[in-house]
Amino acid sequence: MKKTLTLVTLLAAGTSQAAGIAVDTQAGRATGMGSTGVANSQDASAIYYNAAGILGVKQMDAQLGGTLIAPSLSFTREGGTKQTQSPLSPPPHAYFVYKFSPQVAAGVGVFTPFGANSQWPEDFVGRELAKTSQVATYDINPTVGFAPLDWLRLGAGVQVVYGTLDVSRALNFGPAGEGAVAISAADWGFGYNLGVQADLVPMFLTLGAHYRSEVRMELAGDATFTGVPPPLAPSPALQNADITSRLTLPASVGLGLAVTPLKRLQVALEANWVQWSSLQEILFEFPQPERNARSVKDWHSRVNVRLGGEYGVTDALAVRAGFVYDPTPSPEETLAPDLPDANRLKFSLGAGYAFSSFRADLGYQFVMLQEQRSTFPALPGTYSGSAHVLGLTLGYSR
C-alpha cells in the first residue's frame, strides 16, 4: 500500500501551482492563456475546463500531456533565518472525445485537479509540526455533451476520484535523539460536473458556466513510527496503528466570457469561485481517541480572476498570454508548514502549432507567491516564493 501511495503522490502532487491545493494547468493551450477555459475551451480538454466545450471538436480529439511544476517556497521565522524547499512534480493529463453527431459528443478525461507537495529540509525549524505533507488526487471524468440548439451547448460528467494523503513530522525525544511518524491514507470519492456555453453573438461573444461538485472521501491507512528509543518503544502512544481521516475536495463555480474582436484574436475573461471553506481541519483518528492528531485550517472560500488571449499568427501557429490573481484561502492564524500557502500572481505565455491532424501546445506560467504573514502560535513567520510551470500537451484530431 505504501509503495502505491508514494508513486501516485509523486506523479500527482506539486507545491500547489494554484491557491490552496488546486492545480489548474490541465492543458498546454489553457496554461498559456492564464488557465482560462470556461467559455473558450472547444476541444477534449474541455472535460476539465467546461464539459459543454467538448461539442467543439470536429469528430474525434485525443490529448496527452503533463505539467512540470518547479517551485521555490521559503519560510522565515520571526527573528530567525530563511529556509527554503524546492520539490519538483509532473502532474499528467489525458483526454479523449468522440462526436457522434452535431448534437452529441462523449469522452473521458484523467487529470490531477488537486495536489500539494511540501518537503522541508532536514533541519527545518518547524519539523516537529511538518517535515513532509503531500495531497494528491486523480480524477477520472466520463463526460457527455448535448447541443439542443446551434448556439447552445450543455455538458455533464461524473467524477471518480482517487485521493491520497501523506504526512510526516519529527518527534523530539530529548537526549535520546529524534524520531519521526509518517501517516499514509487513501480512498475513492465520487462527484459530478455540469457546464453550459452559449454563443450570444455568433463568431463574436460566448458565455460559459461550469460547476464541479465537492468530493468527500473517508481515507484509511496507517501511522508508522521510526527512531523510537528502546526504553520508550513499549509506549502505546508510539505504536504503529491503523488510522482514518476525512478529506473534502471543494466545489467550484466558473463564469467566463470569450470575445473574438478580430478573426484571429480571441480574449477570455473569467472568475472562479472555490469552496475552500469545506476544509476546516485535518484530523487523523487512531483506534485510541486520545492519540488523535488534529490540524485546524478554517479555510475561507475564495474567487480567482483569470485573463487570457490567443492570436493566430498563421493557420498553423498561435501565440498566447494570460494573467491570474489567485488569493489564498488560509487565514494568518492557521497558516502552518504542513500546507503552506500565499496569494498568487501568475503570468503566462504560450504557443501552439498544428501540422496535419497533429498539434502541440506549450504553456508557461511564472507564479509569484506574495509575502504571506503567519501568526500561527506554534510557528509565526512569513512565507514567500515563486514557481515555474511548464505544460506540454500533444493532440490528434480529425
- Render pLDDT for 23-67 as a digit per residue (tens, 0 to 9): 999 999 999 999 999 999 999 999 999 999 999 999 999 999 999
pLDDT at 17: 67
Say which residue, 317 or 133, is predicted with more confidence.
317
pLDDT digits (tens, 9 = 90+) for 228-244: 999 999 999 999 999 99
User: Considering the entire predicted model, what is its pTM?
Assistant: 0.93
Q: Inform me whether the pLDDT recorded for 1 exceeds 80.
A: no
- Band the pLDDT of 273: cuts 50, 70, 90: very high
Q: How far is CA 236 from CA 111, 125, 300, in A?
A: 41, 27, 37
pLDDT at 142: 98
Q: What are phi and psi of 127, to 5 degrees?
A: -65, -20
Average pLDDT, the chain: 93
Q: CA 221, 225, 231, 232: dihedral to nearest 10 degrees?
A: -60
Average pLDDT over residues 68-95: 91
Do residues 22 and 16 make contact, with C-beta atoms less than 8 angstroms apart? yes
pLDDT digits (tens, 9 = 90+) for 350-374: 999 999 999 999 999 999 999 999 9
pLDDT digits (tens, 9 = 90+) for 148-186: 999 999 999 999 999 999 999 999 999 999 999 999 999
* DSSP code of residue 378: T
Q: Inform me whether the pLDDT recorded for 275 exceeds 80.
A: yes
Q: Inform me whether the pLDDT recorded for 4 exceeds 70.
A: no
CA distance 252 to 250: 6
Average pLDDT over residues 134-142: 94
CA distance 92 to 175: 45
List the domains of the chain with CATH numbers.
2-397 (2.40.160.60)
Average pLDDT over residues 193-218: 97
